């Protein structure tokens, strides 16, 4: 090869390359760039959608935590109210039980007093009956007809002196 000679294959390669660049630019570049732009838009859209969903998830999480806090607070209030109510009811039941026990005690004491009075009255009646029987036996043995008449006279006078 001569250093000054002209190489036509190199020119042909350069022309082929430029023609290829022109064809690619004319027919392939825009579709490739459009496809790249669509892909970029799709990815950005997905990222934006993911960010939006993440924010929604965080909002839902905050709402859930707030609802759980409220539910715990309400549960604690219900438990506190139930505890207080049960303590109050327990105190009421104890007070009612004390009142009822006092009533039963008073009733029992009244029954005992009544039974005692009845027993005392029965004993007195029996003692009186026995006293009369003993006195009658003693009087029959000790009094003669004259003594009995004097005793009857004295009894009539005493009865006559009693106010009616």
> Would residue 27 count as lying in a domain?
no
pLDDT tens digits along 72-83 = 999 999 999 999
**Does 30 reside within a domain?**
no
Residue with tokens 């027993």: 119
Note down the domain range covering 79. 40-161
pLDDT tens by residue, 80-105: 999 999 999 999 999 999 999 999 99
How many other CB atoms are there within 10 angstroms of residue 143's CB atom?
13
Give the pLDDT confidence score for residue 2 in this predicted structure: 58
Total number of domains in the chain: 1
Residue 138: inside a domain: yes
**pTM of the complete model:** 0.42
Residue 129 forms part of a structural domain:
yes
Residue 10 placed within a domain: no
């Amino acid at each position: 090869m001569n250093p000054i000679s002209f190489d036509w294959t190199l020119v042909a390669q350069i022309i082929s390359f430029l023609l290829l660049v022109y064809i690619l630019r004319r027919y392939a570049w825009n579709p490739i760039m459009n496809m790249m732009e669509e892909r970029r838009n799709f990815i950005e859209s997905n990222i934006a959608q993911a960010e939006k969903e993440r924010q929604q998830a965080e909002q839902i999480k905050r709402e859930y935590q707030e609802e759980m806090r409220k539910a715990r607070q309400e549960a604690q209030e219900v438990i506190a109210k139930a505890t207080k109510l049960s303590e109050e009811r327990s105190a009421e039941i104890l007070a009612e039980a004390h009142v009822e026990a006092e009533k039963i005690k008073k009733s029992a004491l009244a029954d005992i007093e009544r039974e005692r009075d009845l027993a005392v009255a029965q004993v007195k009646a029996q003692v009186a009956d026995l006293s009369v029987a003993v006195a009658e036996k003693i009087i029959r043995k000790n009094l003669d007809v004259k003594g009995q008449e004097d005793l009857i006279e004295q009894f009539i006078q005493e009865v006559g002196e009693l106010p009616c």
